[in-house]
């Protein structure tokens, strides 16, 4: 078993020619009757050793987090030394398991632990600096923004050292948190209403991250390099930030029964997200919005008399639709993208279409 990254390394070392590598990729795509890009590959587990190493790494990280509070037993807030120890342990283990062994799952866990440890350490030291005094909501938001910005910088340093694809998404999340916190500090957290302010900010941040993901996707339309993996994680981050505000505005997240208009609106939004997912060849939008459309469709079946079978009918309809879409993803996408103008098609992942 090998990965496309291994094939690229073999070409770079001269073990195989670039023509042979391209021929092999074309053969695999033809055998699966689907372009390689449509498979949406990303590295997660290359063998059971990934799981074994991850379990051991998590145990060590847990131990570091548990040791940290010993240094600040009276601190009422995030223990900063837990963050320091976790981040340090994560970086140290990454030097071997990420930089040398290139293990996928441990690399993801260690990156998340490093970024989370840095953020926890910064917040903890800020709490220590104020010695239990309240800095005020506005200044507190500024401090959180500063911590998020430094965390984004730490993610950038980690990316330069280890080049783990999810690192860019982690840094983008930290930058988004920085911007949102600064905006909230500017208007005053006490004046924030999630309906009127926070949700629009999250939605705008999600769109910005989606555009950033598309920039990575456009640089590798055939999805044969690490850039496609970076785009995958960015899309995975952007999808819930886009979907949740949309369905929140439709009333699905309010914990109350929705009306027929809202339920139909949910279905319409899901179809629109599905068209976008087809165009950009990323399924993250469909997955992120799945819970909301399930809730809406369950309510519709219940509203129109299928009380006892509403959940079963919802699962059957949505499951059948998603399986059908998966089975015919490539021809549907090829037909859809083929109707778009040529200047738009050249910005989308390859569908084996002749670009005008």
Per-residue pLDDT averaged across 313-324, rounded? 86
* Phi, psi (rounded to 5 degrees) for 77: 170, -175
Question: CB neighbours of 346 closer than 8 A, spacing ≥ 6?
Answer: 355
Question: CB neighbours of 177 closer than 8 A, spacing ≥ 6?
Answer: 144, 145, 148
Q: Which of 127, 5, 14 is nearest to 74 (CA)?
A: 127
User: Which of 117 and 305 is assigned the larger pLDDT?
Assistant: 117
Per-residue pLDDT averaged across 174-182, rounded? 94
- Report the pLDDT value the prediction gives residue 61, as an integer from 0 to 100: 97
- Report the pLDDT value the prediction gives residue 356, as an integer from 0 to 100: 34
Tens of pLDDT, residues 110-156? 999 999 999 999 999 988 888 767 777 778 888 899 999 999 999 99
Least confident of 99-108, 149-158, 307-316, 317-326: 307-316
The rounded distance, in Å, linking the Cα atoms of 50 and 46 is 7
For residue 354, name the pLDDT band (cuts at 50, 70, 90): very low
pLDDT at 33 over 60: no
User: Are 82 and 67 in contact, with CB atoms under 8 Å apart?
Assistant: yes
How many residues does the structure list for the chain?
A: 356
- Report the pLDDT value the prediction gives residue 189, as an integer from 0 to 100: 62
For residue 193, name the pLDDT band (cuts at 50, 70, 90): low
- In three-state secondary structure terms, 331 is helix
72 dihedral zone (left: phi>0; alpha: psi -120 to 50; beta): beta
For residue 222, name the pLDDT band (cuts at 50, 70, 90): confident
Per-residue pLDDT averaged across 323-343, rounded? 87
User: Are 234 and 169 in contact, with CB atoms under 8 Å apart?
Assistant: yes
User: Which of 346 and 32 is assigned the larger pLDDT?
Assistant: 346
- Report the pLDDT value the prediction gives residue 351, as an integer from 0 to 100: 72
* C-alpha angle 75-183-156 in degrees, rounded to nearest 5: 70
- Report the pLDDT value the prediction gives residue 122, as an integer from 0 to 100: 94
Tens of pLDDT, residues 229-252? 999 999 999 999 999 999 888 887
- Report the pLDDT value the prediction gives residue 355, as an integer from 0 to 100: 38
Per-residue pLDDT averaged across 98-109, rounded? 92
Q: Which of 318, 141, 172, 182 is nearest to 236 (CA)?
A: 172
- Report the pLDDT value the prediction gives residue 72, as an integer from 0 to 100: 82
User: Which of 62 and 194 is assigned the larger pLDDT?
Assistant: 62
């Amino acid at each position: 078993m090998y990965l496309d990254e291994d094939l690229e390394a073999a070409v770079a070392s001269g073990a195989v020619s670039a023509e042979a590598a391209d021929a092999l990729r074309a053969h695999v795509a033809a055998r699966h009757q689907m372009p390689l890009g449509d498979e949406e590959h990303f590295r997660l587990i290359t063998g059971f050793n990934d799981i074994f190493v991850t379990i051991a790494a998590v145990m060590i990280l847990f131990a570091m987090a548990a040791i940290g509070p010993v240094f600040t037993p009276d601190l009422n807030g995030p223990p900063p030394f837990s963050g320091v120890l976790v981040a340090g342990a994560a970086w140290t283990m990454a030097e071997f398991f990420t930089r040398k062994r290139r293990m996928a799952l441990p690399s993801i866990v260690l990156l998340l632990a490093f970024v989370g440890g840095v953020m926890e350490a910064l917040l903890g030291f800020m709490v220590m600096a104020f010695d239990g005094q309240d800095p005020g909501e506005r200044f507190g938001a500024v401090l959180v923004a500063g911590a998020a910005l430094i965390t984004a910088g730490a993610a950038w340093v980690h990316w330069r050292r280890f080049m783990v694809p999810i690192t860019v998404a982690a840094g983008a999340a930290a930058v988004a948190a920085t911007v949102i916190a600064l905006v909230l500090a500017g208007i005053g957290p006490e004046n924030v209403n999630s309906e009127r302010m926070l949700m629009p900010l999250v939605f705008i941040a999600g769109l910005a991250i989606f555009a950033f993901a598309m920039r990575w996707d456009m640089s590798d339309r055939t999805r044969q390099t690490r850039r496609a993996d970076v785009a995958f994680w960015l899309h995975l981050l952007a999808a819930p930030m886009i979907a949740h505000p949309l369905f929140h505005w439709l009333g699905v997240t309010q914990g109350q029964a929705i009306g027929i208009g809202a339920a139909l609106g949910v279905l319409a939004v899901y179809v629109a997200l599905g068209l976008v997912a087809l165009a950009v060849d990323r399924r993250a939008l469909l997955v992120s919005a799945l819970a909301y459309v399930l809730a809406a469709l369950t309510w519709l079946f219940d509203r129109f008399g299928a009380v006892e079978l509403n959940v079963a009918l919802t699962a059957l309809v949505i499951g059948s639709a998603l399986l059908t879409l998966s089975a015919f993803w490539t021809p549907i996408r090829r037909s859809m993208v083929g109707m778009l103008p040529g200047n738009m098609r050249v910005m989308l992942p390859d569908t084996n279409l002749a670009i005008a």
